[in-house]
Amino acid sequence: MTQQTEANTETTAKAGAIIIPVTLFEQNCTLIWCEASKKAVVIDPGGDVPKILAAIKQTAVSVEKIWLTHGHIDHVGGAAELRDALKVPIEGPHLSDKFLLDNVVNSGARFGMTGVRDFAPDRWLAEGEQVSIGKLTFEILHCPGHSPGSVVFFSREMRFAHVGDVLFSGSVGRSDIPGGDHDTLIKSIKNKLLPLGDDVGFICGHGPGSSIGQERLTNPFLTGAM
Ligand SMILES: [Zn+2]
Ligand SMILES: [Zn+2]
């Protein structure tokens, strides 16, 4: 059900993470925790909330926040329900995705997802802001193109990012859905993600993770092959 990954630095904060695939889109709902405090965050609880709660219990961490990379149904469908269950705040995405969070019920109906709710986060996130969990701090990069309000969570210290649907292993986010724009997406990746450094590893919204260096060298959307 889950895959275990570790992102460690010797001198500073240590983190653990598991991926919990949710919804018919196999979205990578991600549980990340600070090893020192066992305080944790759930990124993109798209649905299947009982499965997410079971994974939290099994991992024995204390979830204090929910973070959202963007407003698409497969990433936010379970957010309101999980917020109620855990009594924790939702942070993100960027305000530009408000139109998506105002239409979660409509979007869900198209895919047979019932029991979802429209909602507002407790905090919108903007470029340059920071969010934290335990001893872990992440910088916010606003990366529009897949959706107007997509954000990336970047830990400079751990050389790790959660990029949502902006960038994938060997691909990039689709831009054919309302609010999407391919040129804007490529600009976001080239101007904000590639400069983070080749050594930065990432988890993305679907499929396996990768690293910035691997994608810079081989991703056909970035090398000019497409
Ligand atoms: Zn998406
Ligand atoms: Zn997605």
Closest listed ligand to the CA of 75: 2
Closest listed ligand to the CA of 21: 2
What's the pLDDT at 2? 45
If you measure from the C-alpha of residue 36 to the centroid of ligand 2, how many angstroms do you get, rounded to a whole number? 31
Q: Which residue has the tokens 């299947």?
A: 48
CA torsion angle for 29, 80, 98, 195 (degrees, to 10)?
-30
If you measure from the C-alpha of residue 4 to the centroid of ligand 2, how many angstroms do you get, rounded to a whole number? 21
If you measure from the C-alpha of residue 16 to the centroid of ligand 1, how many angstroms do you get, rounded to a whole number? 24
Q: What is the C-alpha to C-alpha distance for residues 147 and 178, in angstroms, rounded to an integer?
A: 8
If you measure from the C-alpha of residue 74 to the centroid of ligand 2, how many angstroms do you get, rounded to a whole number? 6
Closest listed ligand to the CA of 173: 1
Residues contacting 196, CB < 8 A, separation 6+:
154, 161, 212
If you measure from the C-alpha of residue 70 to the centroid of ligand 1, how many angstroms do you get, rounded to a whole number? 7
If you measure from the C-alpha of residue 165 to the centroid of ligand 1, how many angstroms do you get, rounded to a whole number? 5
pTM score of the predicted model = 0.94
CA 44 from centre of chain = 5
If you measure from the C-alpha of residue 73 to the centroid of ligand 2, how many angstroms do you get, rounded to a whole number? 8
Q: What is the C-alpha to C-alpha distance for residues 17 and 34, in angstroms, rounded to an integer?
A: 9
If you measure from the C-alpha of residue 45 to the centroid of ligand 2, how many angstroms do you get, rounded to a whole number? 11
If you measure from the C-alpha of residue 110 to the centroid of ligand 2, how many angstroms do you get, rounded to a whole number? 15
If you measure from the C-alpha of residue 166 to the centroid of ligand 2, how many angstroms do you get, rounded to a whole number? 9
If you measure from the C-alpha of residue 171 to the centroid of ligand 2, how many angstroms do you get, rounded to a whole number? 13
What's the pLDDT at 9? 45
pLDDT in tens, the chain (226 residues): 344 555 544 456 799 999 999 999 999 999 999 999 999 999 999 999 999 999 999 999 999 999 999 999 999 999 999 999 999 999 999 999 999 999 999 999 999 998 899 999 999 999 999 999 999 999 999 999 999 999 999 999 999 999 999 999 999 999 999 899 999 999 999 999 999 999 999 999 999 999 999 999 999 999 986 6
If you measure from the C-alpha of residue 12 to the centroid of ligand 2, how many angstroms do you get, rounded to a whole number? 32
Q: What is the C-alpha to C-alpha distance for residues 150 and 212, in angstroms, rounded to an integer?
A: 18
